[in-house]
Amino acid sequence: MKLLILIIIFTSINISCQVTTKEQLQKAEQLINERKYLEASAYLEEIISKDSLNQEAHYFLGQAYYKPLFVEGLKMVYLDLQIAKRASGHFKRAIEISPYYKGKVFVLGPYSKIQTIWGSMALNYILKGNPDSAKWALLYGQSEGGFVPAMLEYNKNIMAGCEQDAILFTNGDNDTFPIWFLQMIESYRTDITLINVNLLNVDWYIKQLKNNYPFGNNNLSLNINDEKIDQLRPISWQDTEIELPVDDPLNKENKIVWTLKPTFENKALRVQDQLILEILKTNNWKRPVYFSITVDESGLIGLSEYLSLEGLVRKVNTHKEKISPERINKNITQVYTYKGMNDEHLKFDDDLKMMYQNYRHLYLQLANYYYEKEERQKAKQILDLMNENFPEDLLPYTNLSLKNEVKELNKKASEE
């Protein structure tokens, strides 16, 4: 009877502690969301001192140290190495406790956070004129758990599908920092000028692209001097028809025409959109221009009708064309590699799993194209190839609707 009472008491204490820890983490999350980072970090340090294996507390603490470093691109030059190491260290510790992080996520998981920290530190060193330190930062980030093989291969495939001397617009951390790594560490496709559309709102980044692209050998041509770049701000804007002249026999009007709508509060045009338009005008079709498929509609300045899907990128075209089946077919069968499917990180990293679903979307769009052209056999072959390259046991679907679309199209394409 005494033993039973002791067990009940111990169980009650243990449950009470678990509830308390959950409440503590909720409070820490609230402090982080309220931007009370110092208070949050002190609070989380106390939690970890009592429970060093609390994976979520380590991730939260990494976020509390990380977030003040990356408030906005303007502060990139002020990144602190010791704080970066501290933030990265806690994200790494979360992974060491378990390679699969199951807790609350602030946009990105721990692998991607580490990658972002050290990609940003690399750019910080470049801004300070220390390219060797930038290389060290990228390699250090890899040793901490970022820049995993599958993520690097995915980004290598993005670039592999681009023509020589391409201009490539990207959107997020996972299709920017790995490309910088590939260009700077592996000297891969240094002919490509990568442009992160979000960083285009920052004057020092625009000047860097124009005057000294740090990760390759192709500066960006711009008809804007540095003084004018410093003065760039969102401008008042209303729906405006934009024209660019072209020389293309498939375009009888000898121009592409589209409507550029306001991109900020329905009344203004962001700096990034002004710059994308200026880049297209200055380039004047001299270099091929692509958008990564991760750039959503809001970042395309209304160009969708002239963006041709060619793989993991969409090319700015001289005529209206939604999809280039020949180019996609060549990329998925001859150009892209899929060794990343054997990378164990694909089991643990949810961000990586999400990126790899883009392959399935690509195959599905090509199969749909063939099906609509009444080429059912070709559609079925593409779906079979997709299942061969991305078997569900190695890459589970993260989106049920995508799985159902594939299943439905496979059924229709198989019908006699």
Half-sphere exposure of residue 7: CA atoms within 13 angstroms, side-chain side: 4
Which region holds residue 302: left if phi is over 0, alpha if psi is between -120 and 50, else beta? left
Residues 6+ away with beta carbon under 8 Å from 181: 119, 138, 142, 147, 152
Q: Residue written as tokens 């580490």?
A: 114
Kindly report the length of the chain: 416
Residue 167 in 3-state DSSP? strand
Phi, psi (5° rounding) for residue 252? -70, -20
Tell which residue, 410, 320, 316, has the closest CA to residue 363.
410
- In 239-312, DSSP assigns E strands to 240-245, 255-260, 268-269, 289-292, 307-309
Predicted model pTM: 0.92
pLDDT for 69 equals 77
Question: Whole-angstrom Cα distance, residue 304 to residue 315?
Answer: 10
pLDDT for 416 equals 60
Positions in the chain short of pLDDT 70 = 1-20, 70-77, 416
Give strand pairing partners of 124: none
pLDDT for 74 equals 53
pLDDT for 384 equals 97
pLDDT for 19 equals 41
Residues 6+ away with beta carbon under 8 Å from 219: 193, 209, 210, 211, 212, 213
Which 8-state DSSP code applies to residue 219?
P
pLDDT for 169 equals 98
- Rounded (5°) CA angle 250-256-259: 145
Question: Whole-angstrom Cα distance, residue 37 to residue 49?
Answer: 18
CB atoms within 10 A of CB 125: 22
pLDDT for 21 equals 81
Residue 91 in 3-state DSSP? helix
Question: Whole-angstrom Cα distance, residue 251 to residue 106?
Answer: 46
Q: Domain ranges in the chain?
A: 30-144, 149-327, 338-414
Amino acid at 265: E
pLDDT for 5 equals 43
| CA 41 to chain centroid | 27
pLDDT for 252 equals 87
* DSSP structure string for 269-337: E-HHHHHHHHHHHHHTTSS-EEEETTS-GGGTTT-GGGEEE-SSEEEE-SS--SB-HHHHHHIIIII--
Give strand pairing partners of 268: 236, 264
Cβ(402)–Cβ(360) under 8 Å? yes
pLDDT for 20 equals 66
Cβ(141)–Cβ(66) under 8 Å? no
pLDDT for 308 equals 97
Which architecture does CATH list for 30-144?
Alpha Horseshoe (1.25)
pLDDT for 7 equals 43
